[in-house]
Structure 1
């Protein structure tokens, strides 16, 4: 039986730059960084409050076809890649802190039926949604 989600993969343009973004800007911690056969890099980060969920940062490439990898790269350039939803305690304060670090937002904190939400992109074009929920996600 499935118990939970353990790994989420994000396509990034540059693993080193994304590793810095997720650790230095967002506060994630590095977990694994291993180069395997054929130069494939397995690089992951975790959030210290949810270490059981691993975020895998990977550049589109094999085993994907060259055509699919190119399509993903185009979607990244257009800022059309899905990403992560991140729970925050205070959406406005988190927004202010990330703006001060140079993160560009597509949408400032806005009231929604489920809470307060702000939308930005990471340095590879993946959407990040910050959500201050009205009710606990538990």
Structure 2
């Protein structure tokens, strides 16, 4: 049996502003953008090279959903963006005015810094060290 998490829903205020942020600031790719009806779209984005999972941008449909924008995990880091070159991506993100809320730090598992997306969701930018490269593996027996 092979299962995987295909999409993670990310509640956003507006499809187009979210697409603009993720594609221009983080270099994500739009995998699909399909109109469902006059208010709803199926928008899937992913970082370069991603094969296993992606983000489903879900526009808040009511006040309750809107209240979760930017705080889907109650203030904890929500998403983990793994990289094969921390400093390349960190420096590019700084130039693109991504707000880092915790500076780069060498941890036992690798190099990490915490940044905010356009709504304030917290992300780890993480390059695992040699002992933890296996967590990047996407092919499972």
Provide closer, same or farther for how the CA distance between residues 67 and 28 of structure 1 changes in structure 2, counting only shifts above 3 A: closer
Deviation at 1:27, TM superposition (A): 1.3
* Residues 98 and 115, structure 2, Cα contact 8 Å, conserved in 1: yes
> Do 2:103 and 2:113's aligned partners in 1 also have CA atoms closer than 8 Å?
yes
Cα offset for 1:95?
A: 1.3
**Partner residue of 1:93 out of 75, 88, 97:** 88
Give the CA RMSD over aligned residues: 2.3
* TM-score normalised by the chain length of structure 2: 0.80
The structure richer in helix per residue is 1
Aligned residues: 132
What is the TM-score normalised by the length of structure 1?
0.82
Q: Which runs of 5+ in 2 are unaligned?
A: none
**1:2, CA displacement in angstroms?**
5.2
Following TM superposition, the consecutive aligned residue runs of length 4 or more in structure 1 with deviations greater than 4 angstroms are none
For 1:69, the equivalent position in structure 2 comes to: 65
Q: Is the 8 A contact 1:118 1:129 kept in 2?
A: yes
Q: What 5-or-longer segments of structure 1 have no aligned partner?
A: none
Change (3 A) 1:129 1:95: same
Please say if residues 9 and 58 of structure 2, whose CA atoms lie closer than 8 Å, have aligned partners that are also in contact: yes
